[in-house]
Amino acid sequence: MAAAFCSLHQGSSLKKLQYYHMRQSYATRSYPGALTSNASKKSSMCCCTAQNFVRGVRISRSEFKKEILCWRVFSGSLANYADNANDGESGEDVPKATLIWRAVKLPIYSVALVPLTVGGAAAYLQTGIFSARRYLLLLVSSILIITWLNLSNDVYDFDTGADKNKKESVVNLVGSRSVAFIAAYSSLLLGFAGLAWTSIGAGNIHAILFLAFAIICGYVYQCPPFRLSYQGLGEPLCFAAFGPFATSAFYLLLGSTSEMSILPLTGTILSASLLVGFTTTLILFCSHFHQVEEDKAVGKFSPLVRLGTERGSGVMKVAVTTLYSLLFAFGLSRTLPLTCILLCSLTLPVGKLVIGFVEENYKEKGKIFMAKYFCVRLHALFGAALATGLVAARAFQGYSL
């Protein structure tokens, strides 16, 4: 704010001070509680001096600096008031539209899109073919499977009491466990039917086995009698399901032709699937930051319950660093094309953003809630860069598997 008042032109300085004086007067009328803190009292004290300056009273350079400091303090008090208001909204008065948006979890559906797209891009690199019809059918089926995962997770967390105070839980929103349960398993049946039909059409039994293993990982993760997520095994299951199993299965399905029904599992698709599994697991890990207390109360020992949020923020830093280390290692070994390394490297600022956000906010439950969405952004951008790099590699005649 000091920079706003550093102009030596008297007219601009007068206008700016008058504008901030008007803001202070409005805040006093609209938010009487906002000026009860010591910081706000200081800001009200500096108001008189500001008025004198606006009226043309000359002040010294040191006094002018004090004015700047006073306005800084006042601005900070308003910011704190706004933060408290937002915290109240997130706690008790969240609009229903916001709760519905959180329950739908639309950004999370990138975990259906990324493995499919990366697997298809790897198949295109290998064969030079792409079936848009098969891709769209697999996409719809994958979205239905993710819908089952989200709904069944809410159902079973409702049963254990983990979602008792979670307003954006689908069960709490619709007010019926049965409706959520029926919708979940209807989605599972339709999704698996679509995957099986596509696999039979492609004549690739290996792909449907991989996809079945991925779904089994999802079931034992959250459904009774297993509920392995309560033992802290959710992250390894997530990595296996979305990485090696799903991504490799989509590669086999989208690369299958009448001449070649079974593609070889190359180092390229295996390394790409590992990276996809890694970024997907980051989303799940960060989704526990804001519910450590609730998980601990119902005996759900997620990694963050065991580690604590402070150590968990350190794990995130190591994990993101490992992600890019693996990327460069795959590039040096020529397991992945150079185009993938270059394009995925462009997502490094997003990786740093994730680390910085978690390190700064892991103690603040109201803010750390957004960490998983930062990870979704990293997952989507990294996956898009990886898929684009695989497709672009096909265009370079000098590249060979």
pTM score > 0.85 for this model? no
- The label of the residue with tokens 């991925």 reads 214
pLDDT of 170 strictly over 60: yes
pLDDT of 203 strictly over 60: yes
Please give the DSSP secondary-structure letter assigned to residue 291: G
CA torsion sign for 317, 367, 227, 104 is negative
95-113: average pLDDT: 80
pLDDT of 103 strictly over 90: no
| CA nearest neighbour of 358 among 293, 285, 306, 297 | 285
**pLDDT for 197:** 93
**pLDDT for 362:** 93
Q: Is the peptide bond before 236 cis (omega within 30 degrees of 0)?
A: no
pLDDT of 6 strictly over 60: no
* Exposure string over 244-272, b if 16+ CB within 10 A, otherwise e: bbbbbbbbbbbbbeeeeeebeeeebbbbb
Q: How far apart are the first and last CA of the chain?
A: 57
Task: Choose between 356 and 129: higher pLDDT.
Answer: 356
Q: Which residue intervals of 31-131 are DSSP H helices?
A: 38-54, 61-91, 96-104, 110-127
CA angle 338, 343, 345 (to 5 degrees): 95
- pLDDT tens-digit series, residues 17-32: 444 444 444 444 444 4
Q: Please give the Cα distance from 375 to 298 (Å, whole number).
A: 26
| CA nearest neighbour of 168 among 230, 106, 225, 229 | 106
Residue type, 22: M
**pLDDT for 59:** 43
Q: Please give the Cα distance from 245 to 401 (Å, whole number).
A: 22
254-281: average pLDDT: 86
**Mean pLDDT over the full length of the chain:** 79
